[in-house]
Structure 1
């Protein structure tokens, strides 16, 4: 019996919606489970394969083993064929995808069915990015709130329909940005006016999607809480972000933001994707940074598990 688990990448923060919501993307982490005697063996390919552990120290089997221990279950070692399209340390939810994959491996091997609340509770033990974990599991646009009950943390989530005509352009520079370090550059306290500014625009993003007011997209992406502090740490990122103020000059462009904590920059558009991608890449190039671009759709399905005999 062979099981294949497919988990989408994700982008989070979406401008003003810092730590609030995330969006699943049509880039995938695929994990194929094959029987083998002994402990876990990981056979990686794709993005970052040369940097990933091939034994039980790899995040995917580590999560699977940890959840089994917490649940009082025993799971066998297996061979995991891991193929990833998700770049590492680029703000595209690679670790969240691996965590959801690891929990999915546990469920497959144990036959234990976790509720959504339980699954997110275990996932949050490995990282706090609910706005990446939620879309990796559920797909689409997900608003995620961390809640605590009886000393246990989990997520409350609401999945929303994403406008089909709004596509994604990613511009991925050659340099990485470590999420924990980028969290460290943020101020511990913010001005009330800045907090209100972001609250208004985070709410605006949800409202414009509900009412299809795509003309307001760039306004909803304006941010005062995280991008101004992070962009200076990545050459060229500031120039790419300025496109959010110049959408009228680029037909089809709705807005631009950092993806997660960077370094990827994300554009939302309804057309002229090649031209928008070229402009983003050009702006990195003028700062001496090489980059690659990807055009894609939102993944509305989320995690997929297929088993064949």
Structure 2
């Protein structure tokens, strides 16, 4: 691994998009930035913004762990580094903060090793979470369709419709994927599975070509209702938005709500008390690495 420094800018993401559980993801214009400098000393981490004072500042930090995993995957030695993490993505809110940190670390490892990002970078990143939807969205930008083949993670990027105007509603409460996954049943009715498969296929079409179909396309029977006890206010907001004609889903593991209103504005009659409302356009670029002051992907 060569001496020097790199700057990595990585977007937030929203996963599932209703029926696409562990399969659909989309990158959003909210970014964490990580500056990685090879020092030759121990791993040190400085954090500003989200997570400051609450996350590790040594080799246990998620970006540092992903950096090491990336270096190991490339067969290069990881020297001491200084990580300066400038975080804007809220933690434990269902906006892909952990995936963004992982992608930042892996992308930095590739850059410091003088390598271009490839499909194996997704594999390294996805292994941390056990699914590839958020990581693929942060890597590739736009809309992604992710799947696994045994232990291999794969994803393809799709171009989202230019009329998509995502709005997120972020509550103060936190959520943990490990907790919400524990609420899912081992089996679901065949009718619900068949319904969700159809809606997931429709969601791909709606998100890329027919946004007028987003309301039915984002309906889910596979996971959201089962996890309502983890975020009852989130589900209340999802239902209120949908009753007012706005396609709305739980973002990832929650508790953030993703809304896809026509025209980009929520109806004024919707009561958003308890939520911070933010318009976040689709990030169509994905992770950006700037080595040595030169922009590159």
Is the pair's TM-score, using the shorter chain for normalization, greater than 0.5?
Answer: yes
What is the aligned partner in structure 1 of residue 122 from structure 2? Answer: 120
Residues in 1 aligned to 2:23 and 2:131: alpha-carbon distance in whole angstroms: 10
The C-alpha deviation readout for 1:26-46, integer Å capped at 9, x for no partner, is: 011110123434022111111
Residues in 2 aligned to 1:172 and 1:139: alpha-carbon distance in whole angstroms: 21
Residues in 1 aligned to 2:45 and 2:250: alpha-carbon distance in whole angstroms: 32
Please state if 1:300 is matched with 2:292. no
Q: Is contact 1:162–1:209 with CA below 8 Å preserved after alignment?
A: yes
Paired residue secondary structure (1:4): strand
What is the aligned partner in structure 2 of residue 49 from structure 1? Answer: 52
Residues in 2 aligned to 1:272 and 1:139: alpha-carbon distance in whole angstroms: 20
What is the aligned partner in structure 1 of residue 11 from structure 2? Answer: 8
Change (3 A) 1:211 1:165: closer
Q: Could you tell me how far 1:136 is from its partner in structure 2?
A: 0.6
Q: Which runs of 5+ in 2 are unaligned?
A: none
Paired residue secondary structure (1:82): strand
What is the aligned partner in structure 2 of residue 185 from structure 1? Answer: 183
Larger CA deviation: 182-191 vs 121-130: 121-130
What is the aligned partner in structure 1 of residue 114 from structure 2? Answer: 111
Change (3 A) 1:122 1:24: same
Among 245, 248, 256, the residue aligned to 2:248: 256
The C-alpha deviation readout for 1:108-154, integer Å capped at 9, x for no partner, is: 222244531x1122123211131111101000000111123xxx522
The C-alpha deviation readout for 1:33-75, integer Å capped at 9, x for no partner, is: 2343402211111111121111111011112223323443212
Matches within 5 A, 1:277-292: 279=270, 281-282=272-273, 290-292=274-276
Residues in 2 aligned to 1:114 and 1:107: alpha-carbon distance in whole angstroms: 6
Residues in 1 aligned to 2:227 and 2:271: alpha-carbon distance in whole angstroms: 18
Paired residue secondary structure (2:138): helix
Q: Is contact 1:218–1:247 with CA below 8 Å preserved after alignment?
A: no
Change (3 A) 1:247 1:209: same
Q: Is contact 2:244–2:267 with CA below 8 Å preserved after alignment?
A: no
Q: Could you tell me how far 1:209 is from its partner in structure 2?
A: 3.4
Please state if 1:265 is matched with 2:268. no
Q: Is contact 1:230–1:261 with CA below 8 Å preserved after alignment?
A: no
Residues in 1 aligned to 2:261 and 2:164: alpha-carbon distance in whole angstroms: 5
Larger CA deviation: 163-172 vs 87-96: 163-172
Please state if 1:225 is matched with 2:241. no
Please state if 1:60 is matched with 2:44. no
Q: Could you tell me how far 1:80 is from its partner in structure 2?
A: 1.1
Q: Which runs of 5+ in 1 are unaligned?
A: 283-289
How many equivalent residue pairs?
A: 290
Change (3 A) 1:209 1:127: closer
Among 144, 147, 170, the residue aligned to 1:145: 147
Paired residue secondary structure (1:281): coil
Residues in 2 aligned to 1:173 and 1:11: alpha-carbon distance in whole angstroms: 15
Please state if 1:168 is matched with 2:166. yes
Q: Is contact 2:35–2:83 with CA below 8 Å preserved after alignment?
A: yes
What is the aligned partner in structure 1 of residue 138 from structure 2? Answer: 136
Q: Is contact 2:166–2:264 with CA below 8 Å preserved after alignment?
A: no
Q: Is contact 1:100–1:137 with CA below 8 Å preserved after alignment?
A: yes
